[in-house]
C-alpha cells in the first residue's frame, strides 16, 4: 500500500511538471519579448485561436479576400521591431467561430506557415501544406507582434532544451569576452618631447612607447552608447553623400546594435559574433536580421591621435556604407556593474 501511494504521488508530480512546461501566450499588436530560457512556438496540425481585424469580415478588402480564398490565408505574425520586422503568413484549411466571444474570434486549423516571399505561383505546383514550414520558433530575447489582418494570435510558450540553453550561454560568453574596443595610433607629442626624441634613438624609442596608447582602449563592456554629428554614407542607388543635419545615436551591447538619428531613423541589428579584425586593427561586430542572417559588419576602434572613435558600418552585399564622423561615447556600462 505504501509503495502504491508513493507511485501515485510520483506520477502526480510528473504529470504536474509536464503540465507546467508549456502555456498559452496571446500575441497582440503591442510587441512582446520572449523571456529568458523560453521559446514561443506556432505549428501546424493544431487548432490556433486568433482575433481578426475588422477588414477580414468586410467584403471587398484584401484581408477578406485572403481569409476566404482557397487555400485560406491570414497575415501577419511578425518578429523583430516595428522598423525592421520579418512577417509570416498563416495558411489554414478550416476555421470556426468561437462561441460566446466577439464576432472576430476564430479557431484555425493551420496547415502551413510561410514568410514574406510567398507568391500565388507557389500554389501552382505545390500543395498548400508544401508551400511553407510546419513550425516556427521565436527564441528568448526576440520581439513578437501581429499586424495587418490579425489583432491577436495564440502561441505556445515552452522551455528551451538543455542543449539550446548551453549553446546560448556559450555564444553569449564568447561575445562578452570579445566585447572590447581596440586603440590604435599614438598620442600627440608636445614640442618639448619632439626635441627630446631627436636627440638619440634610445630616447626616441622610450618616448614612443610612452606615447603609444594601450592596444585595448575599452574592455569589460556590456553596453556603450556613441554620438555622431555627421555621417559620410554610400548607397548603391544614390552614390556617396553627407548627412550633417542629423545627430546620430548608436547603442551597442552584446545582443543588439541600434542605429537612430534625429530625423526618425531607428534600425535594430542583432549581434551575431564579435572578433578582432587584425587587418583593420578594429573590433568587428557581425550583425544580422531577426532570422540571424548576416547583413552587416560594424567596425570600431579608438584613435589616440584624434581622441575619437572610428566607426564604420557596411552591408555584406556592398549596397550601403556609413562612416560616422567625430564619434564620441556618451555612456558606458561594464560587465561587473
Measured distance CA(322)–CA(4) in Å, rounded: 71
Contacts of 294 (CB under 8 A, 6+ apart): 272, 286, 287, 288, 316
Residue 6 has pLDDT above 80, yes or no: no
Contacts of 165 (CB under 8 A, 6+ apart): 37
Integer Rg of the chain from CA: 27
pLDDT tens digit sequence for 92-127: 998 999 999 999 999 999 999 998 778 777 888 888
Please state, as a whole number, how many other Cβ atoms lie within 10 Å of the Cβ of residue 193. Answer: 15
Measured distance CA(302)–CA(221) in Å, rounded: 14
SS (H, E, C) 232-266: EEEECCCEEEEECCCCEEEEEECCEEEEEECCCCE
- What is the helix (H) or strand (E) element at residue 145, kind and residue range? strand 143-146
Handedness of CA 188, 194, 198, 202 (dihedral sign): negative
pLDDT tens digit sequence for 217-274: 999 999 999 999 999 999 999 999 999 999 999 999 999 999 999 988 888 899 999 9
The ranges assigned to domains in the chain are: 22-160, 171-334
Residue 326 has pLDDT above 70, yes or no: yes
Percent of the chain topping pLDDT 90:
61
Kindly indicate the confidence band of residue 199, based on its pLDDT and cuts at 50, 70 and 90. low
Kindly indicate the confidence band of residue 131, based on its pLDDT and cuts at 50, 70 and 90. confident
pLDDT at 212: 53
C-alpha cell at 76: 501577419
Measured distance CA(63)–CA(75) in Å, rounded: 8
Long-range contacts of residues 98-102, Cβ cutoff 8 Å, at least 24 apart: 98/49, 102/51
* Residues 116 and 92 sit within 8 Å (Cβ to Cβ): no
Residue 17 has pLDDT above 50, yes or no: no
Measured distance CA(132)–CA(118) in Å, rounded: 8
pLDDT tens digit sequence for 206-219: 555 554 556 899 99
Residue 337 has pLDDT above 80, yes or no: no
Conformational region of residue 141, where left means phi above 0, alpha means psi within -120 to 50, and beta covers everything else = left
Residue 3 has pLDDT above 80, yes or no: no
- What is the helix (H) or strand (E) element at residue 295, kind and residue range? strand 294-303
* Residues 146 and 78 sit within 8 Å (Cβ to Cβ): yes
Number of H helices, E strands in the chain: 7, 22
Residue 216, CB-side half-sphere exposure with 13 Å CA sphere? 9
* Residues 251 and 153 sit within 8 Å (Cβ to Cβ): no
* Residues 135 and 45 sit within 8 Å (Cβ to Cβ): no
C-alpha cell at 11: 506520477
Helix (H, G, I), strand (E, B) or coil at 193: helix
pLDDT at 214: 61
Amino acid at each position: 500500500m505504501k509503495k502504491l501511494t508513493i507511485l501515485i504521488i510520483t506520477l502526480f508530480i510528473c504529470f504536474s511538471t509536464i503540465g507546467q512546461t508549456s502555456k498559452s501566450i496571446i500575441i497582440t499588436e503591442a510587441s512582446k519579448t520572449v523571456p529568458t530560457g523560453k521559446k514561443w512556438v506556432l505549428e501546424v496540425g493544431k487548432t490556433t485561436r486568433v482575433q481578426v481585424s475588422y477588414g477580414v469580415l468586410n467584403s471587398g478588402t484584401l484581408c477578406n479576400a485572403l481569409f476566404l480564398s482557397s487555400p485560406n490565408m491570414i497575415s501577419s505574425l511578425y518578429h523583430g521591431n516595428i522598423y525592421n520586422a520579418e512577417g509570416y503568413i498563416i495558411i489554414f484549411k478550416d476555421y470556426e467561430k468561437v462561441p460566446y466571444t466577439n464576432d472576430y474570434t476564430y479557431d484555425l486549423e493551420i496547415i502551413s506557415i510561410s514568410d514574406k516571399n510567398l507568391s500565388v505561383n507557389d500554389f501552382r505546383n505545390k500543395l498548400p501544406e508544401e508551400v511553407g514550414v510546419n513550425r516556427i520558433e521565436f527564441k528568448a530575447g526576440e520581439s513578437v507582434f501581429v499586424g495587418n489582418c490579425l489583432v491577436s494570435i495564440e502561441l505556445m510558450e515552452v522551455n528551451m532544451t538543455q542543449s539550446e540553453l548551453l549553446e546560448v550561454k556559450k555564444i553569449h560568453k564568447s561575445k562578452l569576452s570579445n566585447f572590447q574596443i581596440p586603440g590604435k595610433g599614438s598620442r600627440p607629442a608636445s614640442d618639448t618631447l619632439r626635441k627630446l626624441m631627436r636627440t638619440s634613438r634610445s630616447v626616441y624609442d622610450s618616448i614612443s612607447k610612452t606615447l603609444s596608447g594601450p592596444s585595448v582602449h575599452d574592455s569589460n563592456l556590456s553596453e556603450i552608447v556613441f554620438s555622431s554629428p555627421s555621417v559620410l554614407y554610400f548607397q548603391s542607388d544614390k552614390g556617396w553623400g553627407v548627412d550633417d543635419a542629423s545627430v546620430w545615436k548608436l547603442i551597442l551591447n552584446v545582443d543588439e546594435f541600434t542605429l537612430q538619428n534625429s530625423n526618425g531613423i531607428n534600425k535594430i541589428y542583432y549581434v551575431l559574433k564579435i572578433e578582432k579584425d587584425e587587418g583593420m586593427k578594429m573590433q568587428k561586430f557581425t550583425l544580422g536580421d531577426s532570422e540571424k542572417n548576416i547583413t552587416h559588419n560594424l567596425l570600431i576602434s579608438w584613435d589616440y591621435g584624434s581622441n575619437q572613435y572610428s566607426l564604420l558600418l557596411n552591408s555584406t552585399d556592398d549596397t550601403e556604407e556609413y562612416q560616422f564622423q567625430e564619434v564620441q561615447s556618451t555612456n558606458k556600462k561594464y560587465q561587473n556593474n
